[in-house]
Structure 1
Amino acid sequence: MKPYLPLFLAALFVASPAPSHAQAASSQSLDGIVAIVDEDVILRSELDRAVANITAQYASQPGQLPPREILEKQVLERLVMVRLQVARAADSGIRISDAELQQAMNSVANQNRMTLDQLRARLASEGLSFDEFRENLRDEVTIQRLRQRYIQAKVQVSEAEIDQLIATQQIGGPEMRLANLQINLPEGATPDEIARGREKIEQIKGLIERGETTFNAAAIRYSQAQNALDGGELGWRSYDSIPPLFANVLRAMKPGQITDPVRGPSGFQIVQLEEVREASAQKVTQYRASDIMIRTSDLVSAEVARQKIQALRDRIAGGEDFAKVAKEASDDTLTRNAGGDMGWFQADQWGTAIGAQVQQLADGGLSPIFQSDVGFHLIKRTGMREQDVTEDNRRNKAREIIGNRKADEEFERFLRQMRAEAYFESRLGA
């Protein structure tokens, strides 16, 4: 599984769909309960399937997995967090339609360069249920929607904050691939608990540095972060997208090296620098064009709209000014008052139909009539340029960095609070 599922799905795939209360009640005599979460239960069969999925992902590297009892605790905690988030989303009125779910499934298949049928066959070949995959993906999309809704209400980024970040940090530049390993501390940890946490992460770091284990294997075995079962992988980050305390240390490190333990809001963590790469180029091709659009509707059939725009094209081909015709007749309210001028844009910024036409035209060229999902169009290309978007990208990157930091902090706080407020009873080993 792991090589062809995207990281977010690999992380979630351990979660099994929640049984209804009726299903749980009818099966409890045959299927033990391993945990109670609020008014719901997690069954032994769910945990076993989840552990089996993780084991399948690491079938070629079984030595990276911790002992069964530790793995069960890690997977159970993830099942609990998924269950709590999905329940909170349901209480908030979040629903994922079948159409949205189908789109997400197609996206997963496309990312892995497969058709949906090929993905189904691949899952079946590894003994994994497509129906379970589908419901787990619904949970993942639900959780993403919950996170989006929560941070939209909590996170705002001002232009002043962007200016300040740009003034104090170099935005852009090299990127690095990171992994982390975290040992959690309870809220209001005592000095003894803090000392034990520090000692534990120091011991783990020592194991890695002596070559007794790899960082990723140690993360799977010991880390208490949400990404533990992914080997602690954090993906590619720019230096300016992580907390300055880590960034300053990482700048002086070489791939393979590990930071000293750092205490954060959730506990102690160490970070490994895995790879470094230069940032991609920041130039894009932009086009300028003018547009006339005749909208189709219940009152204007496709044939009537086509005839109307053909008449407009004939007028322009006969010498009338494009801008004058656009102001008189175009249904595109965004461009009509400007004589159809769409400004500078990247090829597909106005949709794939317009993008395909504008790329084929020469400057000054008039397109044939073509159809989009809103009506029929006629465009005239007026320019093309290679544009340096470094400054725009810097500001967008700064906005993203600040937003992501705030979002991560807010949502992590939200998850900790939700977990602390939930009723949880583990029956593992009972």
Structure 2
Amino acid sequence: MPRLTLSITTLLLSLASAHALAAEPVKAPAKAATKAATSAVAITPASTTPVALDRIVAIVNDDVITERELLRQMALVSNQLRANKRPLPPTDVLLPQVLDQMVTQLAELQLAKRAGVTLDDMSLDNTLRGIANDNGMSVEQFREALAKEGTSWGDFREQIRREIIINRVQKREVIDRIQISDKEIDDALNVKRGQQKSGQANMEYHVRQILIALPESATPEDIAKARSKAENTLQALRNGGDFAALAASVSGARDALEGGDLGWRSADNLPSIYTEAVMSMQPGQVSELIRSPSGFHIVQLEETRGAAANAANTQEVKLIETHARHILIQTSDVVNDDEARRRLEDIRQRLAKGEDFATLAKTYSNDKGSAERGGDLGWARPGMMVEEFERVMSSTPKGQVSAPFRSQFGWHILEVLETRDASGNIEFLRQQTREGLTRRRAEEELERWQRRIRDEAYVEILLGAAPSKP
């Protein structure tokens, strides 16, 4: 049972200005001494008066999470929920969920550090420029918009850094290890053909989930306790409880603070353990308990969309693949957006005068992988490229070079070499199915992997329950 070891009142009163706090990293004391260590004091050279330093709210292996870091993350999450028009849970719900996410994230970052997974500043800056660009802003405008929402640029930047590093270690440890067999692909294609015949192939389902999680090596006592909690949650839902609010309060899934919202999913993109239940439910219905190695799940079908098969919506949609090449100029502290665009305009003029695209790509492109091939990206199908790149690629006529354009990676020009209709390409359909199965498997495996990382870590929570209001 976690112990209350800091003033919740002080913590909550500080919440309004949490985004302005700057915390320095603090190393955890030796494990033998941690149970009594909840804050630190220092004696200044000019005075014998103790001065309180940052308080510790959680210990994760050899690192700690401080009160300031928790407050800062609380403010960041609150601002993101508001920006996404999500309901803000009460503080006594939000605080433990945010702290739990921080503990898991710190354990993942520790694993990433041991594995040598890093992110350089240039890549981070390019990603941030891409995020700003996706929102129709320059980086400076985006910084100002964040500040107006109460989020500091430094906090946002470090959050994105952590997320990218975690995504990289997840890819290395989980996604790259997923194997999909030919039989699984055959079975999935057969299911899809059956859905097409029944008119369900075009249906999408808006689903929410609650997970009452189990540790990886759950004891009978763990299972009984989790089952009881899940049954109580299910009963609360049947008594009229709000699904999103309960998900935020009790769910152990990564989307808990979003009310368990999985968004719109086609049947083959639903978690496999949910498919049968969801497809048999009516909008507004809540499932029975669904047991998996991860724990006990409850699913709500919010609504459906799509229509039964007819001549209009069963007509085959053409799938066009594009063979293109490009030249990338990345921005940096030295090369700003205007300079990158100017360089590409110069290259474009040289191409118009007859210079060779491949030679110029090898000389100037910052995409080292494709530069070695003269900028050649091979054949790409819809969804393979980032949105901005795909939009320009699909609108550029064959044999022409595009105007410079921006993506999250920097500035590009591209040339479309040729296109082809791959609608009836069975190899493409199998590859598309393989990718869909990999995404579904990855979603399920990541939940289990995160719990295992958390279970294997030494974790001590030094924060008790918060009151419902500050």
Within the candidate set 229, 243, 267, 1:200 is matched to: 229
Within the candidate set 180, 185, 207, 1:178 is matched to: 207
Give yes or no for contact 1:64–1:220 (8 Å, CA) kept in 2.
no
Query: 1:369 Cα deviation (Å)?
Result: 12
Query: 1:50 Cα deviation (Å)?
Result: 2.1
CA distance in 1, matches of 2:251, 2:415: 58
Query: 1:31 Cα deviation (Å)?
Result: 1.8
Query: 1:53 Cα deviation (Å)?
Result: 3.1
Counterpart position of 1:136: 159
2:319 aligned counterpart, secondary structure: strand
Query: Aligned runs of 1:327-346 on 2, under 5 Å?
Result: none
Counterpart position of 2:144: 121
1:173 aligned counterpart, secondary structure: coil
CA distances 1:365-403 after superposition (whole Å, capped 9, x unpaired) = x76999999xx999887xx77653685664234212321
Give yes or no for contact 1:86–1:142 (8 Å, CA) kept in 2.
yes
Counterpart position of 2:3: none
Q: What letter is aligned with 1:20?
A: P
When residues 116 and 247 of structure 1 are mapped into structure 2, their CA distance, relative to the original with a 3 A threshold, is: same
1:388 aligned counterpart, secondary structure: coil
CA distances 1:162-198 after superposition (whole Å, capped 9, x unpaired) = 1233235557532222211111234454545434433
Counterpart position of 2:45: none
When residues 104 and 42 of structure 1 are mapped into structure 2, their CA distance, relative to the original with a 3 A threshold, is: same
Q: What letter is aligned with 1:150?
A: E
The question of 1:79 aligning with 2:102 is answered yes
Q: What letter is aligned with 1:79?
A: M
Bigger Cα displacement from structure 2, 245-254 vs 39-48: 245-254
| Gap runs ≥5 in structure 1 | 1-13, 294-301, 313-331
Within the candidate set 262, 270, 290, 2:290 is matched to: 262
When residues 394 and 19 of structure 1 are mapped into structure 2, their CA distance, relative to the original with a 3 A threshold, is: farther
When residues 287 and 228 of structure 1 are mapped into structure 2, their CA distance, relative to the original with a 3 A threshold, is: closer
CA distances 1:249-281 after superposition (whole Å, capped 9, x unpaired) = 211222222211111112111011223234997
When residues 17 and 238 of structure 1 are mapped into structure 2, their CA distance, relative to the original with a 3 A threshold, is: farther
CA distance in 1, matches of 2:423, 2:169: 36
CA distance in 2, matches of 1:397, 1:185: 33
Query: 1:223 Cα deviation (Å)?
Result: 1.3
Counterpart position of 1:92: 115
Give yes or no for contact 2:211–2:251 (8 Å, CA) kept in 1.
yes
The question of 1:65 aligning with 2:93 is answered no
Q: What letter is aligned with 2:63?
A: D
Counterpart position of 2:451: 416
2:52 aligned counterpart, secondary structure: coil
The question of 1:112 aligning with 2:118 is answered no
Query: Aligned runs of 1:26-425 on 2, under 5 Å?
Result: 29-57=52-80, 65-66=89-90, 68=92, 70-170=93-193, 173-211=202-240, 213-278=241-306, 282-285=317-320, 310=354, 359-360=396-397, 388=423, 394-425=429-460
When residues 88 and 191 of structure 1 are mapped into structure 2, their CA distance, relative to the original with a 3 A threshold, is: closer
CA distances 1:99-143 after superposition (whole Å, capped 9, x unpaired) = 211222123233434433332122211222111000011000111
When residues 82 and 360 of structure 1 are mapped into structure 2, their CA distance, relative to the original with a 3 A threshold, is: same
CA distance in 2, matches of 1:347, 1:244: 23
Q: What letter is aligned with 1:180?
A: Q
Bigger Cα displacement from structure 2, 177-186 vs 259-268: 177-186
Give yes or no for contact 1:283–1:390 (8 Å, CA) kept in 2.
no
When residues 63 and 249 of structure 1 are mapped into structure 2, their CA distance, relative to the original with a 3 A threshold, is: closer
- Structure exhibiting the larger radius of gyration computed from Cα positions: 1
| Gap runs ≥5 in structure 2 | 1-18, 29-38, 43-50, 196-200, 308-312, 328-345, 357-370, 466-470
Q: What percent identity do the matched residue pairs reach?
A: 33
Count, aligned residues: 373
2:174 aligned counterpart, secondary structure: helix
When residues 428 and 248 of structure 1 are mapped into structure 2, their CA distance, relative to the original with a 3 A threshold, is: same
Q: What letter is aligned with 1:51?
A: M
Bigger Cα displacement from structure 2, 260-269 vs 107-116: 107-116
